[in-house]
Amino acid sequence: MVAPASDSSKAAGKGHRERLRQRLLKGGAEALADYEVLEYLLFAAIKQGDTKPLAKTLIARFGSLAGVLNADPAALQLVKGMGESSAAALKIVAIAARRMARSEVSEKPVLGSWQALIDYLSIDMAHLTFERVRVLYLDTRNRLIDDHHASEGSIDEAAIHPREVIRRAMDLGASALILVHNHPSGSPEPSRADIQITQRIAEAGRLLGVTVHDHVIIGREGHVSLRAKGLI
């Protein structure tokens, strides 16, 4: 049986939370270490007690703050001390981050907001444990019309056919597109298959007046633009 916390330990915990709050409010974005950010987020679900050990355990288990926030809620709940409420508190932060990042690329010319686009894609895809392929369809002003999840799995013609990619562009009235997928291995360097399918889609697009601006590969170690590498 666990003994109830003494009044002195409760007071110490409350004092620690207050000090952390003041550092956050007065110190800005870099005032807290990653484990302290996570510790603070856990306050929402764990009303009393020291959340620092749990925060450090989560970062050790999932590798980073981003890894924790992008982890599956079921996986989070396997960690001792985590429950449904705690997992939900972290999940909503990840959802909010994605929506904030998406708002930075919506209704704006994508090519003129390139870093915002990369931030949005990295938040959404860098920590996936499976490969996801998506196609960003753009209008004549290069604004996002549709962020289409084309497939989950390797990027090849079995999963994403050039004809279908361009047909969807025609159906949407899109004049351009950007291919995107992630590498769960962490390295964003393109494979031969990545390059070949990109070139086939670009050629199909040229025949029908749809420009393939780029193919961006996202990984935990960064991102690669095939256009920047001269591969489109």
Q: What is the pLDDT of residues 47-60, one digit of tens each?
A: 888 889 999 999 99
CATH number, domain at 196?
Answer: 3.40.140.10
**Domain assignment of residue 232, yes or no:** no
Q: Which residue range(s) make up the domain with 89?
A: 8-100
Same domain? For 184 and 207 the reply is yes
Specify the CATH number for the domain of residue 79.
1.10.150.20
Is 5 a residue whose pLDDT tops 80? no
| pLDDT of 112 | 79
Instruction: Answer yes or no: do 124 and 75 share one domain.
Output: no
Q: How buried is residue 125: exposed, middle or buried, by Cβ count under 10 Å (0-12/13-18/19+)?
A: buried
pLDDT digits (tens, 9 = 90+) for 141-165: 998 899 998 888 766 555 678 999 9
Whether the predicted pLDDT of 28 surpasses 50: yes
Domain count, the chain: 2
Query: Is 218 found in the same domain as 113?
Result: yes
Q: What is the pLDDT of residue 155?
A: 66
Residue 157: predicted pLDDT: 54
Mean pLDDT of the chain: 86
pLDDT band (50, 70, 90) for residue 25? confident
Q: 151 and 114 share a domain?
A: yes
Please give the Cα distance from 132 to 154 (Å, whole number): 8
Query: How far, CA to CA in Å, does 78 sit from each of 42, 61, 157?
Result: 16, 11, 37
DSSP lists the bridge partners of residue 145 as none
User: For the stretch 84-96, what's the b/e string if a residue is b when 16 or more beta carbons lie within 10 angstroms of its beta carbon?
Assistant: eebbebbbebbee
Distance CA 26, CA 45 (A): 24
Q: Which among 44, 76, 100 is the end of a domain?
A: 100
Tens-place pLDDT, residues 79-115: 999 999 999 999 998 888 888 877 777 767 777 788 8
The percentage of the chain sitting over the pLDDT mark of 90, rounded to a whole number, equals: 44
Quick check: 70 pLDDT over 90? no
Residue 3 pLDDT exceeds 50: no
* pLDDT higher at 123 or 78: 78
